[in-house]
Structure 1
Amino acid sequence: MFSFNLLDEPWIPVRPGDGGPVREVGLRELLTQARAFQRIDDPSPLVTVALLRLSLALLHRALRGPKNAEQAAEWFRDGFPEDRLEAYFTAHAQNFDLFHPERPFWQVRDLTPDLEGGKYRSHWTRLGSEVGSANTSPLFNPAARPGGERSDPLSPAEAARRLVEGQTFLLGGLIKRFTTSAKAAPVATYALTAAQGHTLHETLCLNLTPYPEYGTDQAVWEREPLTVAAVKRYYELELGDVPLGRADRYTWPARSVRLIPEGDEAGSVRVATIGFAAGLPLEGAPEGAGRNLDPMVTLRAPADPKKPERFPLKLRREQLLWRDLSALLPDPHHEIQVAGQGGDTHFQASSGGQAPGTLTHARLVLEGVRGRQDVALTVTGQLSDQGKTFAYRQETYTLPAAFVTDAEGFTAAVTDALGAARGMAEGLRQATARLAAEVLSRGGERDPHKEDVATLARTLPGLGAYWAGLEAPFRVFLSELGTPEQARAAWVSAVDRQARRAWELNLQGAGGDGQTLGFAYRPRRTDGKYQPSPQALLERALRALHRSTDVQEVAPA
């Protein structure tokens, strides 16, 4: 009989705090010796954040907390109560065996590949979001080799990591196993935010948000093992299930999986074949609601006030997240702590969007820890189109002490800075559109089609260069917010500089000769109405940038 217990067998890659090379540890060592490690460090950011979520679920269940940020701050300073961890590990040891015949970890016990004529048989690559052939474009998929040969089998450690990643990030799509189309894992396409400490222990405490549902919650290893008949019943009766709480949500069985271990010639255990089918249908919004909201998910307020439904923040192909950073920042006007029984607390939004609970919690924990006020955050997610993964991305930002000591002022400063940059971008866009119209009309001699104008404006490089050039200055701006006036002055100067540089690129892209400059500076009248020159539109936006933080001062084109 094969066995691989995730509590004690090495399978989670960590970077030691002493600067040594990355090595693998089991869950027991990961959590009891977390101060000895810098972080979980898998080459794939999807695997890394999925392993973090699993670790948090295990801590929530073993410690039945924290009740509030104060208790998390106590654990931050003094460490986790190791006796409670060890008692929990002992009580649930058999539930963490990857190949247990009756309770295989996070799997459906009787989903064997030969079941029903082999219709559930698949290759392990179905588990990896970035290597799964069903949800990945060929250029992003190294699974298939020349001649049709598949990738090498996985070691038990690799199979365990792929299992955790797949249950967290697999996309929805055609599957025809229990159902026609399987739903995506609950947070498969969302931008997931995690606070980062100086050690893995600090990171765990900063993301271990208040846990009021500890009495009703269950992790996947605490539930009765799923069976094929049980999962089929959900689809036959068109039912859905609701997560019982945080740990249940973090360990949701998004796919029915059974890893099949095999011994190779060298005596090692390998996994090539798996049983694979649709998982447990999730009822309600994937990101949850109320106390069951996923703490790593950011909710954005709708653009239309008549539509009250908030929507989860996702990473976008065309821009980096720093341009939306204010959506992640806790706003004291919109975040309130709600007390529950026994002194436990949770957070909810009073209006507008909602920052991720992990970052709200991290700020409160650091308030209670003297000598530590800066915090880094990572935002991780995959980018997909029509059910296909084409990229994944992880962005990291360091927030200074002002984030903790003056949350309201910090959020206001970041919102103001990003608003000023967007206002300038709108002015640059208007000037670029006018320049394109002038070039195509040759100063009013012709009447170009509006689609031709829009096409030429899109091909000019200025706006893209403008935003690209502001990323580094924005990081500097964040680091200098201890002196907000100086930080804003430097930021405005950077925005001005990048806007002028972008405009020069547009002029060069439109021709770069004297005639182009004439078009750029020439105002004219059309149907008796005065139209400012493209250059005048740019200068108007620059004046608004220096005069006020009001991004609405840029006049409409």
Structure 2
Amino acid sequence: MPVVSLEGEVADLSLVEVLARAEKLSTLACATPGEGVALIEYLLAICFASQTLPSSPEEWRVRVAEEHPLDDVTEWLTSEPADDWDLFHPERPLGQNSQLAHQLDENGTGPAQLVLERAGDYCQFFDHHHLEHAEPLPAAAAFRALLSQHVYGLAGRARVSGKSLGATLTNLAAGRLQGRIRVVVQGRTLGDTLRLNLYPAAGGRTGHFNRSWTSAENPRRGFRTKPVGRATSGPADLHSYLGRSVLLRPVPAAPGEPVHVDRVLIGAGELLALDPERDLEDAVPSTITLNGHRKPLWPSPTRALWREAHALYSAATQETTGLFGRLRHLRFPDDGDGPPCMLWAVGLIANKTVAATWTEGHFPYAPSQGEALCEASRRGSAIADYLARALERSAYAAWKVAYPNPKPADRAAQMARFDARREFWPAAKGPFLLLLDETARGSDVPTVLRDYAGDLRSSAADFLRHRLDALPHDSKGLLARARAEHRFRADLADAKAPAELREER
């Protein structure tokens, strides 16, 4: 069954075909960053299940450097019984729960509910019309959406009756990656990406692969009472866990025509008790502790992910275990063709039980430039933050003159007229990523930081000037403009300003 789309190609590929062509594929085409992460998770689970993994950090470095082939993974998957990988098997549907079959007709919805970004809170709108819309979804797209639900599904309450399987079936738990940033190290090919993200299994136990709800090597949760989370049996189990109890109904297809899904049913899934030392290989530690462990970096609705790049680079230079602990000791040949890999960070931002948007960042990484990247990203973020605060203070200075007797309720809207941060932050992303790219290629950090700071300073001044153009050309308007521009120049000349901003270009 086709499950993966390729950029530039119309046809989809099966899992076997993807793995067989992993050394030639540079990327996979996915509708969202979360879907891409979920697919990488699944491919990693297959690698672990086939026992294609390093036994130690030293072997990991050798496998990455020598581009250890993934032929064993393809051979293992090819030798597996076809029934175990059948998305529509009557008893053991891949990644699903066939026990929901008797409820599908009564409680099922249109396939829109399967797509995380379209499903709302799974019960959205009074009449559920959007969920009942029955436009079929191609099976390949349904499979990728299914993986996204398993990994990123939000907490809430699904449209499932609890009469037969228990009321707790309708209570959805948050997915394993919901609420934190997932970091995938991307190589130049899919094969490189898989090798970079495979890791030694604790105790040498890879665990079982979760093919379906009813072909379980370990007992699945029931739905009469809420059970405690179970410990994972190994990385194959972790990366393939069934975060949702789901069932898909296929539309009968004519010979040679692709299969579609026209009905889905979604209920609660497995609950995991994650071990921070074993199950959070890629997590970027924050400064906040939770139950004695540092909380992983989480997505922010107000702060773009590129502004947190220094947290990733700090982990890559300071951590001694996990993904970042191994990555810092890796050595790539200097082929002069740019950074050898990228740190792809992805998070889901949600408004309670409703998916809001995806946040992601691609950050170049070269282990030999780890300290330089850490310094450039930290200083670059500080420079951007300082300029943003200077723009805010300048807006306040203009507002104080333009509105001498404001109503408190009007302040926010009035200040927004002069606040250039809305234009500044999107414009700052490009120069920041260029700063990182030049640093990863070996450029002198102080030099590229000065250039970066000069570019941001010029653009910030332009954005402020354009905002102040809204002022009337009378005495009050001219005074407000003069106060705002003076405030901006004074902030950049202040001793507390980053040194790069105090330097005139």
Quickly name the TM-score band, shorter chain normalised: 0.7 to 0.9
- Are 2:402 and 1:419 equivalent residues in the alignment? no
Structure 1 residues 370, 122: closer, same or farther in 2, change over 3 A?
same
Distance 1:315 1:395 in 2: 11
Structure 1 residues 78, 375: closer, same or farther in 2, change over 3 A?
closer
Q: How does 1:85-484 map to 2 (within 5 A)?
A: 85-87=74-76, 89-91=78-80, 94-114=83-103, 120-132=107-119, 134-135=121-122, 144=130, 149-152=133-136, 154-175=137-158, 176=160, 177=162, 178=166, 179=168, 180-212=170-202, 214-215=204-205, 217-221=207-211, 225=215, 230-233=220-223, 235-236=224-225, 238-264=227-253, 269-283=259-273, 289-293=276-280, 295=282, 297-302=283-288, 310-331=294-315, 334-337=318-321, 347=322, 357=323, 361-362=326-327, 364-365=329-330, 367-369=331-333, 371=335, 373-399=339-365, 403-441=366-404, 446=405, 448=406, 451-481=409-439, 482-484=443-445
Offset from partner CA, 1:26-48 (integer Å, 9 cap, x none):
22222233112121112333322
SS in 2 for 1:259: strand
Contact 1:105–1:221 (8 Å) recurs in 2 = yes
SS in 2 for 1:67: coil
| TM-score calculated relative to the size of structure 1 | 0.76
Distance 2:211 2:300 in 1: 34
1:36 to 21, 24, 32: 24
SS in 1 for 2:266: strand
Distance 1:467 1:193 in 2: 23
Contact 2:95–2:213 (8 Å) recurs in 1 = no
What's the CA shift for 1:450?
5.1
1:485 to 430, 433, 446: 446
What's the CA shift for 1:391?
3.0
SS in 1 for 2:84: helix
Percent of residue pairs identical: 20
Distance 1:404 1:129 in 2: 36
Counterpart in 2 of 1:537? 487
Counterpart in 2 of 1:62? 50
SS in 2 for 1:105: coil
Distance 2:479 2:116 in 1: 53
Residue correspondences, number: 485
Distance 1:407 1:377 in 2: 12
AA at the equivalent of 2:349: L
| TM-score calculated relative to the size of structure 2 | 0.83
SS in 2 for 1:188: coil
Structure 1 residues 490, 133: closer, same or farther in 2, change over 3 A?
closer
Distance 2:281 2:255 in 1: 44
1:13 to 5, 9, 19: 5
SS in 2 for 1:231: coil
SS in 2 for 1:163: helix
Distance 1:103 1:25 in 2: 22
